[in-house]
Amino acid sequence: MELLKIDQLSIGYGHEKILAKNINLSVEKGDLVALVGQNGVGKSTLIRTICGLQPAIGGHTFLDGTNVKELTPKTIAQKVSVVLTGKPDSLNLSVLELIALGRHPYSGWLGSLKKDDKEKIDESISQMEINYLVKKRLYELSDGQLQKVMIARALAQDTDLIILDEPTSHLDLKNKIEVLHLLKKIAEAGKGVLISSHEIQLSAQVCDQFWCMDFGKEMLVGNPKELIKSGVLQDYLHIPREILT
């Protein structure tokens, strides 16, 4: 089932600054996809465009078969949860309070939590194995702990598609590996997960597909291990072949 379909999409900042065009991609349930490429190539712009946070220059994006342009922000938030780079505006929130914000698309303007909301929050906490953190304030967390909490908030939002912009940035190697494996488990449980990442070698170990971007080129799409083994990925991203094996 296609959770996300991208059809002839062009992204950028007006017609005078198109970063990429004619993009045709899809994400299905169970997929863990990594979007890779150099800084400034348009990875974050693509993510924001997919989610309706930035207008497309051309083409279309479909969530569950419906054009994003036809969806309200509330409906989009019920179909896709997004974890962008950067920390929350208020680090004085408790872990539980931040995760509970994931229920906002369902809880109404008063933000009152029903039994189902609380169950989804508890499930996301257990899935991310962060029960021991729920009473802490965000400013008390390490970068790795905060990233897990942000992913738990996305899980509490209970969407079939989760998109994360650089979820392993600023993490040490142990936490990078742990976060990527948690995302793999989330995909295997039936979600579609799309991440942008600079961690090519680590991502290749867990991801089902790479979307590769480079300046002025059509996107390269394929199984990461096969792309690396053939040397196609290294050539596309201008990486010496001996670095990625």
Residue-range domain boundaries for the chain: 2-89+161-237
pLDDT digits (tens, 9 = 90+) for 22-33: 999 999 999 999
Task: Please tell me the CATH code under which domain 2-89+161-237 is placed.
Answer: 3.40.50.300
Residue 17's identity, in one-letter code, is: K
Look at residue 109 in the predicted model and tell me its pLDDT. 58
Average pLDDT over residues 125-152: 94
**pLDDT cut 90: percent of the chain above it:** 74
Alpha helices in the chain (DSSP H): 43-50, 73-79, 95-100, 104-107, 115-127, 143-156, 173-188, 200-206, 224-230, 232-237
The rounded distance, in Å, linking the Cα atoms of 219 and 236 is: 9
First to last CA, the chain: 32
Query: pTM of this prediction?
Result: 0.93
Report pLDDT digits (tens) over 191-244.
999 999 988 999 999 999 999 999 988 899 999 999 999 999 999 988 888 888
In whole angstroms, what is the distance from residue 207 CA to residue 203 CA?
A: 6
Angle, CA 230 vertex, CA 224 and CA 231 arms, to 5°:
85
Q: 51-98 pLDDT, tens per residue?
A: 888 899 999 999 999 999 899 999 999 999 999 888 888 889 999 999
pLDDT of 35 higher than 90:
yes
In this predicted structure, what is the pLDDT of residue 111? 66
Locate all alpha helices (DSSP H) within 6-114, ordered by sequence: 43-50, 73-79, 95-100, 104-107
Which residues make Cβ contacts (< 8 Å) with residue 4, sequence separation at least 6? Answer: 25, 26, 27, 50, 61, 62, 63, 80, 161, 192, 194
Please check whether residue 23 is in contact with residue 219, taking contact to mean a CB–CB distance below 8 angstroms.
yes
Please check whether residue 7 is in contact with residue 68, taking contact to mean a CB–CB distance below 8 angstroms: no
CB burial readout 199-219, b (16+ within 10 A) else e: bbebbbebbbbbbbbbeeeeb
